[in-house]
Amino acid sequence: MAESDNILAVPRHIAIIMDGNGRWAEERYRPRLFGHKAGVDSVREIVETSRTIGIEFLTLYAFSTENWNRPPGEVTGLMGLLKRYLQSELKTMLKNDIRLCCVGQQNRLPTDVQAVLHQTISETQSCQSMTLNLALSYGGRSELVQAVRHLAQKCQDGVLQWQEISELSISEHLFTAGQPDPDLLIRTGGEHRLSNFLLWQTSYTELYFTEVKWPDFRKDQLIEAINIYNRRQRRFGKIGAQLQAE
Ligand code: FPP
């Protein structure tokens, strides 16, 4: 029986910190970009699998605000991979009814990447079976700063009272406005931290850490993570007995 036949239920929203490309390449005495290229193959397989098993939202941390500090050659290489990925995947996204969204500071990306990104976002905007969020130049703290500034501006303009600021209104000013919070966050590559990813949205997200480096994280590893998620009890602050009574 295939691993995928064992799934009990799928989370609505999975977020992934795709870590370990560089070390995967170094283990093979190859340049870091070789690992990122292999990482793109994992992206393809994970997007396809997620769509097939019925994940509604998949958020991939492809480039953080801090990643701009990497050596210029690596940044340029990653931007090139991203552009080629978007160009090559448009047809597949349309065929599989996948809507592309970007979470992050799109305006910091190179103009040619922005152009392909805008085109892919606009051509897939009415696709409904799955939303693929690419986190690009994304930072959770800067996302919150931007949300707070928007809310403050609305208060100053008199269109919002400060007393009306709520968890919902903050959520509505984030890049993920209108989307459910992640149910499951996966981090590959053996580190156990959030690295400024979806800080607000992950307050009740189940965390799953694996030693497997991103280029080796494929369909079977995703199914295993979901099966482990399914064995957990999400209590949202309540006690187990209350949940059983519901
Ligand atoms: C972290 O590994 C990975 C990244 C910073 C980039 C992730 C990019 C891709 C998977 C490919 C491009 C993405 C798309 C969506 C086409 P690391 O370099 O920090 O690895 P290390 O911790 O082993 O050094």
Question: What is the per-residue pLDDT across 220-245, written as a single tens digit (0 to 9) for each?
Answer: 999 999 999 999 876 677 777 777 77
Hey, how many other C-beta atoms are within 10 angstroms of the C-beta on 100?
A: 22
Residue type, 9: A
Domains identified in the chain and CATH numbers: 9-141+181-233 (3.40.1180.10)
- Identify whether 133 is a catalytic site residue: no
User: In the sheet where 13-17 sits, what is the strand order?
Assistant: 98-103, 130-138, 57-64, 13-17, 184-187, 206-209
Any residues with CB less than 8 A from the CB of 57 and at least 6 apart, and which?
12, 13, 14, 130, 131, 133, 179, 180, 182
The residue whose C-alpha atom lies closest to atom 3 belonging to ligand 1 is 19
Residue 1 pLDDT grade (very low, low, confident, very high; cuts 50, 70, 90)? very low
Whether 183 and 229 have beta carbons less than 8 Å apart is answered as yes
Indicate if ligand 1 lies below 6 Å from the C-beta of 85.
yes
Any ligand 1 atom below 6 A from CB of 62: yes
**C-alpha 64 – ligand 1 centre gap (Å):** 10
* Cβ–ligand 1 contact at 40 (below 6 Å): yes
The stretch 79-95 carries a mean pLDDT of 98
Mean pLDDT of 16-44: 98
**Active site (annotated) includes residue 220:** no
Catalytically annotated residue among 67, 96, 196, 227 = 67
